[in-house]
Amino acid sequence: MAQQEPNLDEVVLGQEVGGARVITLNRPRQLNGISDRVVYLLAQFLEKWEKDEDAKLVIFKGAGRAFSAGGDLKMFYEGKSDDSCLEVVYRMYWLCYHIHTYKKTTVSLVNGVVMGGGAAMVAPLKFAVVTEKTVFATPEASVGLHTDCSFSYIHSRLPGYLGEYLALTGARLNAKEMISAGLATHFVPSEKLEELEKRLLNMNTSDESAVRAVIEEFSTDVQPDEESILNKLPTINKCFSAETVEDIIKAFESEASVDGNQWIAPVLKGMRRSSPTALKITLRSIREGRNQSLPECLKKEFRLTMNILRSVISGDVYEGIRALSIDKDNAPKWNPATLEDVKNEDIDRVFQPFSSEQELHVPSDDSNRWSGKYEDTSYAKLSQ
């Protein structure tokens, strides 16, 4: 098949080269933030290529200095007075299911920032290639959101209680740490990434062993640095296995006084600046995720996000986005202001199931694999 030239102004570029298919997130000025148009186009390409017998390999990459910094926060802020963001949230979580279960061989080339929803196009893939420029984080609680886009499923399956730690602190991992934690598969120096991509484009095979062999020609075995958080898992497990956020912070404070634990104080400072409501929602979501399937996690995350965006128990998400992205004063005023003031019954409310027709609909089996689209929901019918 001849190479097809994409529309270079589009926010997602879809390229077909032989048996390879390439998705390029193309909002470099916005660090490839995920907008409604981005999600729509991603789903279009992925469905088309999964059904295309000539498509053997799908590659994900980002234009510019980021892979993707995650959801477009200003989009959420601008939709705060109505349910205008419901469609993009539904489409994104529905898409996350299909990325996790995609039928073609997938490779992500991650050369820069990858956060939140952007990482949902990295961690679930068969091959996730990272470089010395890669930085990963799930910082949603710091802006009043929760760890979403399937990360209540992913984080709850990381070693020990690392998932709770990453979700509650928004801590960043480098490429070596991502590989050690199981969030990426291969480290390739950034100067070799272009040559690796060329080799992958010329492969014309879906054979995972062959793809792995090519990546390993370019990859280097790496281990986390001595000071890495991955080498502090015993302390993390001791603290972040506690039942409540309050107990986690109390245990973490206690450990901070132990010699060699100077790294804890700045982490604690960051946690205390996060939304108390978001921290409690996030912890419960990760904990539930340990015993939930991928569809159950995504359905739960959809409820949580919509209840948060609808300010059912708190408007913290809009205060958090205001402080970070609108006024940029980095001084959010959370309501409630303390963990002790967050009521358990309020947290219970945002976890309550929706009616069956209002839930996220993910396929029950492969025979109707691409069903459940937003267009077919009661939400779409109501908006017509």
Task: Give the catalytic positions in this structure.
Answer: 71, 117, 140, 148
Residue 277 and residue 146 in contact, taking contact as beta carbons nearer than 8 Å:
no
Residue 24 and residue 5 in contact, taking contact as beta carbons nearer than 8 Å:
no
Q: How do beta strands 57-62 and 105-110 pair? A: parallel
* Coil, strand or helix at 104: coil
245, two tokens = 């956020």
Please write down the HEC assignment for all residues of 276-290: HHHHHHHHHHHHHHC
How many whole angstroms separate alpha carbon 296 and alpha carbon 152?
10
The residues, ordered by sequence, that sit 6+ positions from 186 with a Cβ below 8 Å of its Cβ are 127, 128, 129, 130, 179, 215, 216, 219
How far, in whole angstroms, is CA 172 from its chain's centroid? 13
Cα 217-213-97 angle, rounded to 5 deg = 115
How far, in whole angstroms, is CA 205 from its chain's centroid? 28
How many whole angstroms separate alpha carbon 151 and alpha carbon 120?
8
Distances (CA, A) of 323 to 271, 285, 315, 332, 362: 16, 25, 13, 5, 34
